[in-house]
Amino acid sequence: VGLYLWQHIFEGVLEPADVTAQWREGSQSTGKMHFSFITGPAVVPGYFSVEAEHVVLVLNGREEAKVAQAARWLLFAQTLVETRRIRHVAVVLLGSERCRNDWIRPYLSRNGGFVRLLFVTYDYPLANEEDIFQWPLGVATYRNFPVVEPNWAMLHNPRSYLCNFLGTVYKNSSRETLLEILKQDGLDKLCWIAPREQWQPQETNESFRNYQDALLQSDLTLCPVGINTECYRIYEACSYGSVPVVEDVMTPGDCGNSSVHHSAPLRLLKTTGAPFIFIKDWKELPSLLEEEKKKSLQEKIERRRKLIEWYRNFKAWMRQKFIHTLEKSFLPDDKG
């Protein structure tokens, strides 16, 4: 989520370019602020210099071991605030897929803590657009998914497949239903389908190339829910102009578990007008693909153009919102 923030949303570069380097950094100035970004396994609490007045921590709260590491960072930052070495702290959090992020609440200013702003992934019910903001999951940078620059061929060339799905098929999940529906109607012959039984955290060069080719060669990318409705696949499909077909159902857990957003996932993407195809049940897929067969290349080109433009604007909007929110909270009395 940190690399997505820096390389995809801020369009920043990192030195050295080697993704396996122990320490990578980049910087850029925008508005009233100058951003320095550091990342890598050598960046641990106590082992980096703080020259800034304001710090944004990018933390992983996905599982217990990650939460323990995140807590160490927060305690380190708290010490820096208490000793007046830094003034303000914000957090960008890769949250729990079930939105169980209660561990961070005591650190927030609203609860007597020192964290002024929280940007958190998934449909977190406490997001209020005041001090807690929903943040996009983005692409799988941990698998080195690249920043993709759209080109003429990506927009204009005919694509070989109506749709694709390359991913893990969990037992008794809607992903099983999806595969059954594709096989029943012979639609799997029109789509690039490569299911696997077990999730793999790392890609081989070949599997990753196949995945990128599938996105580039498909008009639609099927996005069944996993543990959460939001997944990397949605953003990765946008990068290649392949329209996400999103299973629009709220997953079990505490996401959106409030009186306002109890059954409406992907609030952030919907409110920014994402030009996706949302379906409630994969039984709708055969008729959707029948319609897809009738579309002219010109119609598909126009749709790709809209998708790629929306995604570019979405990232620019998230960047502006992020900077504006930091400026408003951290520099309220700054006159220039």
- Whether the per-residue pLDDT at 42 is higher than 50: the answer is yes
Predicted local confidence at residue 168, as pLDDT: 87
**Predicted confidence band of residue 11 (pLDDT cuts 50, 70, 90):** very high
| Domain around 16 | 1-141+316-330
Predicted local confidence at residue 257, as pLDDT: 67
Predicted local confidence at residue 36, as pLDDT: 93
Q: Are residues 211 and 269 in the same domain?
A: yes
CB 35, CB 53: distance < 8 Å: no
Whether 34 is covered by a domain: the verdict is: yes
Q: Are residues 178 and 130 in the same domain?
A: no
Across 241-250, average pLDDT = 96
**Predicted confidence band of residue 51 (pLDDT cuts 50, 70, 90):** confident
Q: Are residues 160 and 262 in the same domain?
A: yes
SS3 289: helix
Which H or E run contains 119? Answer: strand 115-121
Q: Are residues 213 and 158 in the same domain?
A: yes
Q: Are residues 66 and 131 in the same domain?
A: yes
Q: Are residues 131 and 193 in the same domain?
A: no
Domains of the chain: total: 2
Which H or E run contains 35? Answer: strand 33-39
Q: Are residues 135 and 150 in the same domain?
A: no
Helix axes 285-294, 174-184, angle to 10 degrees: 50
Predicted local confidence at residue 281, as pLDDT: 95
Q: Are residues 162 and 94 in the same domain?
A: no
CB 26, CB 147: distance < 8 Å: no
CATH number of domain containing 124: 3.40.50
Whether 49 is covered by a domain: the verdict is: yes
**What's the rounded Cα separation, in Å, for the pair 194 and 152?**
28
Where is average pLDDT lowest: 160-169, 207-216, 262-271, 327-336? Answer: 327-336
- Whether the per-residue pLDDT at 277 is higher than 90: the answer is yes
Q: Are residues 121 and 176 in the same domain?
A: no
Q: Are residues 281 and 164 in the same domain?
A: yes
Q: Number of C-alpha atoms within 13 angstroms, CB side, residue 216?
A: 14
Share of the chain above pLDDT 90, in %: 79
Whether 2 is covered by a domain: the verdict is: yes
- Whether the per-residue pLDDT at 261 is higher than 70: the answer is no
Q: Are residues 9 and 57 in the same domain?
A: yes
**What's the rounded Cα separation, in Å, for the pair 169 and 163?**
17
Question: pTM of the predicted model, to two decimals?
Answer: 0.94
Q: Are residues 114 and 221 in the same domain?
A: no
Interval 128-160: pLDDT, tens: 999 999 999 999 998 899 999 999 999 999 999
Whether 123 is covered by a domain: the verdict is: yes
Whether 92 is covered by a domain: the verdict is: yes
Whether 286 is covered by a domain: the verdict is: yes
* Segments of 123-198 assigned E as strands: 132-135, 161-168, 191-196
**Predicted confidence band of residue 203 (pLDDT cuts 50, 70, 90):** low
Q: Helix/strand/coil (H, E, C) string of 41-93?
A: CCCCCCCCCCCCCEEEEEEECCCHHHHHHHHHHHHHHHHHHHCCCCCEEEEEE
Predicted local confidence at residue 336, as pLDDT: 42
Tell me how far CA of residue 26 lies from CA of 23, 37, 153, 233, in angstroms: 11, 5, 31, 27
Whether 335 is covered by a domain: the verdict is: no
Whether 336 is covered by a domain: the verdict is: no
Across 39-67, average pLDDT = 89
**What's the rounded Cα separation, in Å, for the pair 330 and 31?**
13
**What's the rounded Cα separation, in Å, for the pair 211 and 166?**
7
- Amino acid (one-letter) located at 80: L
